[in-house]
A and B are shown apart, each in its own frame.
Chain A
C-alpha cells in the first residue's frame, strides 16, 4: 500500500470531515466491540490473572525465541511440511511467489493476514500474473474497493452498507448478479455464493497465523467466517505466512492466550473457528492440502529484542487498543497511513517504515492510557510512544519549531522560580487579553487549537498558585 503516514495531520483533518467515516466510527462506539469486551471480561473473573500468565508465557518465549523457533521448524519438517525463513518483506514475497509458481498457480485464495498486508503481497502477486483472492468478507470488500484495511479485525469497518452494495453491483455483474442488494444478510449470501467456486478453483491457499506451536509444529488461526478453513483445505498447497514472534511453547499455552484473544477483540467467549493445522494431508485423508509451507518473517522483529520495543512483540493483534483509543475513534484507521493503525501502529510502524515517515503517529496520543489498560498482553503502549517521541527529538526528526518550543520550555522548567513567575505573567496576560468574554479567539503559537475553537482563558492564577492556596487553607 502507498504509505501516507508522513501526512498524518492532513489525513486526520480530512478524516474528521468525512461524514461516511464519522457514521462508521459512531457505529463502532455505540454497537461496537468495546462494550462487548467489557461485558465479556466481566463474565470471566480470572481475566486479569490470565493476562499476567499470558505475559509470563510470552516473555518466557521471547527470551528463548531461538530455541522455540528451531523446535517449531523441526516439528513442521517431521510432519512433512516445510519452513521458509525470510529476513525481509521482499524475501517473503519472493518465497511465496516461487511456491505459487511451483504449484503452477493462476489464483490463490487468501485468509485474512496482517503480515501479508505488511509485506504488500497482493500487488506483488498480481504483477507476477497470479490473482490473489481475499476470502474474508471484509478483506474481499476492500479488495473490490482497492483500499487498505482500516482496522486489524474488521478491515472494512469504514465502509457502510450502501457503499458495499454499490461495490457488489459493480463487480458482481460478471457473475450475472445485477440486482442491487442492500440488506447485510443478502450481501453476505451473494459473496458466499461467488466465493465457493473460487475456493475450489484456487491452486494455492494462503492464510496467516495467530499462533505457532513449537511442541507440535502446529499453526493456529482464529476466525469467525470459516473462510480461512476453506482456503487451506481445498487447494493442493497451503502456505502459512507468519512472523517469528507468534510462536508459543505448547498447546496449553495457546489455550491461555486464546482465552484473551476473542474476548479482547470482539467480546466473544471464543471465535467461531479455531483451527490447528499440522502438516499436509496424511495418508488415507480424503481432503486437505498435498503441500504445507510455513513462511516465517523477521522483518526487523529480532532487532526489537533487548530494546524498549521488545514488549510490543507480545501483541496478539486483537485490536482492543484501536477500539478504545480516542484518536482512532476520531480519525479511523486510514489516517495512520500504513498497515497497523491505532496505538499499536504508533508503537511499531516507525520500526517498519522509518521514524521520518511515521514520526507523527506516536504523537497522535493524548496519553490517556486507555490502550495499555485494555491491552490483554499489558504492552506499555504510551511508554513506547514516549520512547519514539524522544527518539524523534534526539534524531532531529521533530520539526524545528517544536524543538525550539520544547527547548525554551525545558529552560524554564529547570528553573522553578523563574518558571512560576513566567507562568504567572502568561496567565495574567491571557486573562487580560480575553477580557470579559473569558475566551480567546486567537493565540500566537497555538493556532492548531484556536483555528477550530476558542481557548477558554485562565482565570488569573496559575495552577501552582492555586495549589499553594489550597494547601494553606487545609493547613489552617
Chain B
C-alpha cells in the first residue's frame, strides 16, 4: 500500500466507513461541477452604476490610488502625469500584452517602455487587469505568456490599467469570468493574483509599514470607455 492509500484508509477508518458508493461519488462530482456560489454579502450587490465607486472606495481605504482616462487613448498622458507627480523615472516595464500594445504610447515620447517579465532593476511596472472586485477593492491579475506575474511584485511601483467594465461585485463573479473564458476545459492560469492595496507588514511592533516585499505604490488607471483599444 502506498503512503497515499494508507492515509486514505486511515481517513475512512476514522469516518467509520469504507470507500464511497458510486452514488455518493456522483453527488460529490456534481457538487464540484455546479461550483455554486455560497452566501454573497449584500454589500457587493450594488447597481452597476455604483460598482466602480464602491471598488474605488474600498481600494483607497487600503492605499490604492486612482486616475481616470476617458478612453485608452488618454492612458499614456495619465501614466506620465502620475510618474511626474511622484518623481518616478519614465522608464517602465510593461506586460507584453497585445491589448496594451495597441495603446498609442508614442503620443508621449518621454515614456521609455520595455516589454517582458520584471527584472530586478525595474522601478515601474505596468500591467493590464483581468477583473476587479468591488466588495473588497481587489484587483484580479492572471498570468500568461503576455502577462508575467513578476510584474505584479518586483517593481517598486505597480500601475494597473483597468477597464471600468471589468469591475465586478465579488470574487465569485471574477471566477465566473475566468470559467467563461475557457468553457469546459481547465481554466485556471498558473497564477491568479488577488491584489488589495500595496504590500504591507505589521511584523514590527504591529506598526503598519507599506512596501514590505512587493510594491510600495499601487496605482490604477481606470479607463471609462473600455471599447477595444485603438
Q: Which residues of B have CB within 8 Å of A65? A: 11, 15
Q: Which residues of A have CB within 8 Å of B31? A: 249-250
Q: Is the CB of A273 within 8 A of B193?
A: yes
Q: Which residues of A have CB within 8 Å of B186? A: 78-79, 216
Which B residue sits closest to A281, measured CB to CB?
A: B190
Q: Which residues of B have CB within 8 Å of A147? A: none
Distance of A268 Cα from B144 Cα, bound (Å):
29
CB distance from A210 to the nearest CB of B (A): 12
- B25 near A: Cβ within 8 Å? yes
- B84 near A: Cβ within 8 Å? no
Question: Chain B interface secondary structure, helix, strand, loop or mixed?
Answer: loop
Question: Which of A33, A230, A310 has the most C-beta atoms of chain B within 10 angstroms of its own C-beta?
Answer: A230
Which A residue sits closest to B218, measured CB to CB?
A: A272
Which B residue sits closest to A229, measured CB to CB?
A: B153
Q: Out of A73, A154, A189, A296, which one reaches B203, CB within 8 Å? A: A154
Which B residue sits closest to A280, measured CB to CB?
A: B190
Which A residue sits closest to B12, measured CB to CB?
A: A66
One of A121-129, A180-188, A376-384 contacting the partner: A180-188
Q: Out of A32, A71, A135, which one reaches B206, CB within 8 Å? A: A32
Q: A87-B7, A230-B153, A305-B14 are in contact. Are A284 and B211 (CB under 8 A)?
A: no
**B176-225 CB contacts (< 8 Å) to partner A:** 186-207, 209, 211-215
CB distance from A279 to the nearest CB of B (A): 6
Q: Out of A135, A154, A270, A282, which one reaches B138, CB within 8 Å? A: A270
**A290-329 CB contacts (< 8 Å) to partner B:** 296, 298, 302-307, 310
Distance of A306 Cα from B15 Cα, bound (Å):
5
- B86 near A: Cβ within 8 Å? no
Q: Which residues of B have CB within 8 Å of A215? A: 32, 35
Q: Out of B37, B120, B211, which one reaches A196, CB within 8 Å? A: B120
Q: Out of A46, A195, A273, A282, which one reaches B194, CB within 8 Å? A: A273
**In the complex, how many residues of chain A place their beta carbon closer than 8 angstroms to a beta carbon of chain B?**
104
Q: Which residues of B have CB within 8 Å of A251? A: 35, 175
- B91 near A: Cβ within 8 Å? no
- B20 near A: Cβ within 8 Å? yes
Q: Which residues of A have CB within 8 Å of B19? A: 66
The total of interchain contacts (Cβ-Cβ below 8 angstroms) comes to 266
Question: Which of B28, B36, B193, B212 has the most C-beta atoms of chain A within 10 angstroms of its own C-beta?
Answer: B212
Q: Out of A85, A164, A185, A192, which one reaches B3, CB within 8 Å? A: A85
Q: A44-B41, A270-B138 are in contact. Are A233 and B191 (CB under 8 A)?
A: yes
Q: Is the CB of B204 within 8 A of A85?
A: no
Q: A78-B186, A224-B212 are in contact. Are A188 and B14 (CB under 8 A)?
A: no
- A433 near B: Cβ within 8 Å? no
Q: Which residues of A have CB within 8 Å of B209? A: 184-185, 188
Q: Which residues of A have CB within 8 Å of B4? A: 73, 83, 85
Question: Which of A64, A78, A196, A252 has the most C-beta atoms of chain B within 10 angstroms of its own C-beta?
Answer: A252
Q: Chain A, 8-38, contact with B by CB distance < 8 Å: what is the 0/1 string?
A: 0000000000000000100110011100000
Q: Is the CB of A234 within 8 A of B150?
A: yes
CB distance from A214 to the nearest CB of B (A): 7
**A375-419 CB contacts (< 8 Å) to partner B:** none
- B106 near A: Cβ within 8 Å? no
Distance of A449 Cα from B25 Cα, bound (Å):
57
Distance of A70 Cα from B61 Cα, bound (Å):
41
Q: Is the CB of B20 within 8 A of A64?
A: yes
CB distance from B9 to the nearest CB of A (A): 9
**B79-100 CB contacts (< 8 Å) to partner A:** 96
Q: Chain B, 50-70, contact with A by CB distance < 8 Å: what is the 0/1 string?
A: 000000001001100000000
Distance of A249 Cα from B38 Cα, bound (Å):
12
Q: Out of B62, B117, B192, B202, which one reaches A275, CB within 8 Å? A: B192
Distance of A192 Cα from B203 Cα, bound (Å):
13
Question: Which of B28, B137, B200, B202 has the most C-beta atoms of chain A within 10 angstroms of its own C-beta?
Answer: B202
Q: Is the CB of B7 within 8 A of A184?
A: no
Q: Chain B, 1-38, contact with A by CB distance < 8 Å: what is the 0/1 string?
A: 01110111011111110011000110010011001111
Q: Is the CB of A164 within 8 A of B204?
A: yes
Q: Which residues of B have CB within 8 Å of A253? A: 38
One of A49-57, A364-372, A421-429 contacting the partner: A49-57
Q: Out of A33, A91, A184, A226, which one reaches B153, CB within 8 Å? A: A226
Q: A71-B32, A215-B32, A255-B171 are in contact. Are A271 and B37 (CB under 8 A)?
A: no
Which A residue sits closest to B6, measured CB to CB?
A: A87
Q: Which residues of B have CB within 8 Å of A116? A: none
**B108-159 CB contacts (< 8 Å) to partner A:** 116-118, 120, 135-138, 143-145, 148-150, 152-154
Which A residue sits closest to B199, measured CB to CB?
A: A226
- B49 near A: Cβ within 8 Å? no
CB distance from A448 to the nearest CB of B (A): 33
Distance of A284 Cα from B106 Cα, bound (Å):
27
Q: Is the CB of B201 within 8 A of A284?
A: no
One of A136-144, A337-345, A438-446, A455-463 contacting the partner: A136-144
Q: Is the CB of A272 within 8 A of B196?
A: yes
Q: Out of B2, B62, B120, which one reaches A200, CB within 8 Å? A: B120
Q: Is the CB of B201 within 8 A of A188?
A: yes
Q: A192-B211, A284-B145 are in contact. Are A302 and B7 (CB under 8 A)?
A: yes
CB distance from B181 to the nearest CB of A (A): 14
Q: Is the CB of A269 within 8 A of B136?
A: yes
Q: Is the CB of B212 within 8 A of A137?
A: yes
Q: Is the CB of B148 within 8 A of A285?
A: yes
Question: Which of A31, A65, A154, A274 has the most C-beta atoms of chain B within 10 angstroms of its own C-beta?
Answer: A274
Q: Is the CB of A224 within 8 A of B7?
A: no
Which B residue sits closest to A213, measured CB to CB?
A: B188
A to B CB contacts below 8 Å, 13 in the list: A79-B188, A137-B212, A185-B209, A225-B201, A229-B153, A249-B28, A249-B35, A256-B39, A273-B195, A275-B193, A279-B190, A285-B144, A307-B14
Which 4 A-B pairs have CB atoms at the shortest separation, nearest pair first?
A226-B214, A305-B14, A284-B145, A225-B212
9 more A-B contacts (CB under 8 A) besides A164-B204, A229-B193?
A64-B28, A69-B11, A73-B4, A87-B6, A157-B203, A216-B188, A229-B214, A272-B214, A287-B117
